[in-house]
Amino acid sequence: MKRRDFLSSAITVTAASSFPVGLGLAADLQAVAPKGDKVTISEGMVSDLQKSIKGDVVLPDSEQYEAARKIWNASFDKRPSMIVQCADSNDVVSAVQFARTNNVLMAVRCGGHSYSGQSTTNGGLVIDLSRMQNAEVDANARTCRIQGGALLGNLDRAAAEYGLATTAGFVSHTGVGGLATGGGHGRLMKKFGLTLDNNLGVEMVTADGRLVKANADENADLYWAVRGGGGNFGIVTQFEFQLYQMDPMVTSFAYTFPIEAAPDVMKFYFEWDAEQPDETASSLGLRRNAQGEAAVAIGGTYIGTPDQAEKALGKLVTFGKPIIGRITSANYVTMQAAADRIYAHGRYYYSKSGFFDRVDAKLPEVMLEYFMKHPTAKAGISAASHGGAAGRVPMDATAYAHRDAKYQISISVDWDKSEDGPGWLKYARDYWSVMEPLSDGGFYVNTTDDDRENTIRKNYRGNYERLVDIKTAWDPDNAFRLNANIPPRRKA
Ligand SMILES: Cc1cc2nc3c(=O)[nH]c(=O)nc-3n(C[C@H](O)[C@H](O)[C@H](O)COP(=O)(O)OP(=O)(O)OC[C@H]3O[C@@H](n4cnc5c(N)ncnc54)[C@H](O)[C@@H]3O)c2cc1C
């Protein structure tokens, strides 16, 4: 059966076997097609979709709509034509089939943390996975099956119940769906690899509305692509992750120095960090406190006890004259959620970042000089250490193409409604324009706001053409286009 026949027969069966359930739609729904033109969806089609799924269809006139349409970053105040809150993978199949049959633009939402607002749309249909957060651990096999709408906290907590862990990011309300399809940087990545390196296989809904498995044995091309290619290839409804035995307690360390010491601290940091073992996850940050006082800090996590950490951290423990310096034992799961409130939902956020495969001699000076130009507490810059196990994976083993990165440097600003948003955007962009020439030109697809085709092509390096082949095979119409998009080849 051809794809179009399959889609229309699936919808016809649904339509014939159900009755409108009274969504209160006074008229047909106006929506937006993938290419931006307007489409009209009949009230009956929408009602049939609601009848056929376990979850809910939320429409603009519904009481739940305002809450349902919001994503983490208030900068993206968009109004989808409908939101399908899926309860299981069958609902995701129905939602994709509905979107394809009615030619509606799809956005896919897990944790809603897309920095570029790709998980919502004006006029399109949001496939919201946030009800799908179930996690099941097989303690003997040391694996976790987790649904595609889960948050990092769901993964960390489920694994920790069995004394296990795997790499996840630094803020526990971030979604597994976006993080694990694009990368997955975190405290454990030097020890256990990126989150996507621990992806053993997925179940996903493809652009033609089928639920398929992708792993090393089945649909291996899709499995390769979904580890780094982001949301381009379909909607993951379930991941299976490798877990590792880990003591629930790790060591947290933080050394803060006066800003006057920054040149020495920064020089020290990059030399010191290069010698650190895989157990150490560190970063260097320039920040200001609420009073506007600037400081430079080295901090991070060591997988081991404070005594072991003290030995491994070596010269850091006695370096310079810190304002505060501490090494403490910390519960890993608690630490993973410690920054949650700093990155609260509903504020305005912007970030520019990139990868650095080497530390240019000028880098500390440039980083510091521009930071000092802005004397308020709003902006910060950090260099997070990469490498270790994540760096030892061959560049073409997965779609993720930045194994050689030594650091990811990020400039972040955030503000609320009453503040000068455009001013902050300009600040971050100007700052990045002086940092970028010192980078290796690569960036993390999960944090970029630059989705121009040429930029994405360059960023995937030698993996790009294979990604285009796989996209062409699995999503020839570019149905999944709200992402760091890899367009399929044009049809002959
Ligand atoms: C506060 C904060 C902290 C962060 N910290 C880290 C960090 O420590 N490490 C790190 O690596 N990254 C980090 N990131 C970046 C993060 O990886 C991306 O923002 C990611 O896209 C968030 O995933 P999400 O599911 O919450 O996003 P969503 O906005 O829900 O989705 C973003 C995109 O991901 C795709 N997607 C989502 N779910 C699925 C799915 N189930 N199947 C297929 N595609 C899907 C879709 O294309 C969607 O447009 C952070 C981001 C924020 C905002």
Q: Closest ligand 1 atom to the C-alpha of 349?
A: 53
Measured from the CB, is residue 151 less than 6 Å from ligand 1? no
Q: For atom 50 of ligand 1, which residue has the closest CA?
A: 174
Residue 369 CA to ligand 1 centre (angstroms)? 31
Residue 54 CA to ligand 1 centre (angstroms)? 25
Decide if 135 contacts 91 (C-beta within 8 A).
Answer: no
| Exposure on the CB side of residue 458, measured as CA atoms within 13 A | 10
Measured from the CB, is residue 166 less than 6 Å from ligand 1? no
Measured from the CB, is residue 186 less than 6 Å from ligand 1? yes
Break the chain down into helix, strand, coil percent, rounded to 5.
35, 25, 45
The per-residue pLDDT for 48 is 96
The per-residue pLDDT for 24 is 55
List C-alpha distances in Å: 206 to 50, 95, 100, 162, 197.
Answer: 21, 11, 11, 33, 22
Residue 37 CA to ligand 1 centre (angstroms)? 28
Measured from the CB, is residue 111 less than 6 Å from ligand 1? yes
Measured from the CB, is residue 109 less than 6 Å from ligand 1? yes
Residue 19 CA to ligand 1 centre (angstroms)? 37
Q: Closest ligand 1 atom to the C-alpha of 237?
A: 41
Q: If DSSP codes are grouped into helix, strand and coil, which group holds residue 354?
A: strand
| Residues 249-438, CATH architecture | 3-Layer(aba) Sandwich (3.40)
Measured from the CB, is residue 114 less than 6 Å from ligand 1? yes
Decide if 427 contacts 413 (C-beta within 8 A).
Answer: yes
The per-residue pLDDT for 25 is 61
Q: For atom 19 of ligand 1, which residue has the closest CA?
A: 114
**Domains of the chain by residue range:** 3-128, 135-246, 249-438
| Residues 135-246, CATH architecture | 2-Layer Sandwich (3.30)
User: What is the Cα–Cα distance from 467 to 459, expressed in whole angstroms?
Assistant: 12
Measured from the CB, is residue 232 less than 6 Å from ligand 1? no
Measured from the CB, is residue 173 less than 6 Å from ligand 1? no
Q: Residue-wise pLDDT tens for the chain (492 aa)?
A: 333 333 333 333 333 323 233 455 667 999 999 999 999 999 999 999 999 999 999 999 999 999 999 999 999 999 999 999 999 999 999 999 999 999 999 999 999 999 999 999 999 999 999 999 999 999 999 999 999 999 999 999 999 999 999 999 999 999 999 999 999 999 999 999 999 999 999 999 999 999 999 999 999 999 999 999 999 999 999 999 999 999 999 999 999 999 999 999 999 999 999 999 999 999 999 998 878 899 999 999 999 999 999 999 999 999 999 999 999 999 999 999 999 999 999 999 999 999 999 999 999 999 999 999 876 667 789 999 999 999 999 999 999 999 999 999 999 999 998 888 888 889 899 999 999 999 999 999 999 988 899 999 999 999 999 999 999 999 999 999 999 999 999 877
List C-alpha distances in Å: 137 to 23, 145, 200.
Answer: 38, 6, 13
Q: Closest ligand 1 atom to the C-alpha of 194?
A: 11
The per-residue pLDDT for 290 is 79
* 29-32/38-41 β-pairing: antiparallel
The per-residue pLDDT for 377 is 63
Measured from the CB, is residue 201 less than 6 Å from ligand 1? no
Residue 178 CA to ligand 1 centre (angstroms)? 3
* 106-109/125-128 β-pairing: parallel
Decide if 83 contacts 58 (C-beta within 8 A).
Answer: yes
Q: Where are the beta strands (DSSP E) in 79-121?
A: 82-85, 106-109
Q: Closest ligand 1 atom to the C-alpha of 110?
A: 30
Decide if 463 contacts 476 (C-beta within 8 A).
Answer: no
What is the DSSP track for 388-453? GGGGSS-TTSSS---TT-SEEEEEEEEE-TTS-HHHHHHHHHHHHHHHGGGS-S---TTT-----H
Fold of 3-128: 3.30.43
Q: For atom 38 of ligand 1, which residue has the closest CA?
A: 177
Measured from the CB, is residue 92 less than 6 Å from ligand 1? no
Q: For atom 1 of ligand 1, which residue has the closest CA?
A: 343
